Amino acid sequence: MRDFLDITIKNWSGVSNNHKIKIWDKIKTRFQFPRNVPEDLVKAYTIKQCAVSFRNWRSEINVKYAKIGMDPTTKYKITKGQWVVFLEQRNDPNFLARSKANSQLTKRNNYHHHLGTGGYQHQVPK
């Protein structure tokens, strides 16, 4: 998935449908899916998980490389230009303010949930 996507894309909604189709086609070549489940359902869930994975990867790059001042271009398929733009995005005052506000909000949580991104409503049917 990382081979198809640019790290400077701010969120999953910025990923083009062509890239999502390429990702799905690549995943289909590597995995076997149950035959009794409709492909559309499997595809929707897989693409949703790709969005979560993409967000987590960008977060990991930020923590392990950007905040420390290291360069990930040797380990990942990230160009120097993409890395410069990513650093500019991470050092933007709006991003830093939002990050600080979210950090403060997280510190107030006494009970951290373990239900995933869907929350309680999505876990009830399971």
pLDDT in tens, 50-72: 999 999 999 999 999 999 999 99
Each residue's pLDDT tens digit, 84-99: 999 999 999 999 999 9
Token pair 């990991």 in the structure block, residue: 60
Indicate the length of the chain as a whole number. Answer: 126
The rounded distance, in Å, linking the Cα atoms of 109 and 5 is 33
Does residue 112 fall inside a structural domain?
Answer: no
CB atoms near residue 122 (< 10 Å): 11
Count: domains in the chain: 1
Q: Is residue 22 part of a domain?
A: yes
39 contacts: CB under 8 Å, gap ≥ 6:
33
Domain extent at residue 19: 12-106
CA-to-CA distance for 80 and 84, rounded, in angstroms? 6
Contacts 24+ apart (CB under 8 A), 66-69: 66/90
Interatomic CA distance for residues 84 and 13, integer angstroms: 22
What pLDDT band is residue 106 in, cutting at 50, 70 and 90?
A: confident
Q: Is residue 46 part of a domain?
A: yes
Q: The dihedral of CA 14, 123, 46, 79: what is its sign?
A: positive
Place 2 in a pLDDT band, splitting at 50, 70 and 90.
confident
Q: 84 vs 31, 72, 90, CA distance in Å?
A: 35, 11, 10
Does the residue 96 lie in any domain? yes
Note whether residue 122 is domain-resident. Answer: no
* pLDDT value, residue 85: 94
Question: Which residue, chain included where needed, has tokens 């990702």?
Answer: 23
Q: Provide the pLDDT for residue 4.
A: 75
In a domain, 124, yes or no: no
In a domain, 125, yes or no: no
Interval 100-105 mean pLDDT: 92
